[in-house]
Amino acid sequence: MTDRISPALRTEALEQLLVEREMIDPAVMDKFISNYENDVGPMNGAKVVARAWTDPDYKAQLLADGTAAIKEMGFSGPQGEYIVVLEQTDEVHHVVVCTLCSCYPWPVLGLPPSWYKDPAYRSRVVREPRAVLHEMGLDVPDGKRIEVWDSSAEVRYLILPQRPAGTEDWDAERLAGIVTRDAMVGVAEVQA
């Protein structure tokens, strides 16, 4: 009988029960959810990338000490204690995975997507990254080296994508609008 009840309905019933028993405060839950939807998420990472694209000094700082540079922009917290930033280049393409679980830099990327936590992605991208990236819609040229970086509880990675041609006159706000979470994980490129 329970397999006919949707997950959304189950979640709502559980929340109501916890509120009735005064085990959670709905205002606190609303604030927590709003925080991850509006304040923590890929838009934070997009702002970091856009600033790096428009400010060479900040880019150098970001590549030297990602955690401090990201914190300077006000983005820190759980899962963001130590972030290394890797720059995409014409010679090398970086992609991030967490083979053990789903360690992910929440302060700059928000909640991890379901595919990132999927065992198939976690195991295959290490063994056959070019094939996995192709399946995800990204064809990395044969002459370009692919480096796979395994996040852990100690270190998480953020990819600094290559800035697309034709965006040289764009300001940071406009640039942030084209940066995607997938590009900051390395499974996509930023498109103008």
Q: Whole-angstrom Cα distance, residue 66 to residue 71?
A: 8
Q: What is the pTM of this model?
A: 0.82
151 is catalytic: no
Which of the following is catalytic: 76, 98, 123, 151? 98
Cα angle, residue 11 at apex, residues 185 and 44 outer, rounded to 5°: 25
The per-residue pLDDT string of the chain (192 residues; one tens digit each, 9 = 90 and over) reads 456 777 778 878 888 888 899 888 988 888 877 676 666 679 999 999 999 999 999 999 999 999 999 999 999 988 889 999 999 999 999 999 999 887 999 899 988 888 999 999 999 999 999 999 999 999 999 999 999 999 998 999 999 999 999 999 999 999 999 999 999 999 999 999
103 is catalytic: yes
CATH of domain 42-185: 3.90.330.10
What are the residue boundaries of the structural domains of the chain, listed by start?
2-38, 42-185
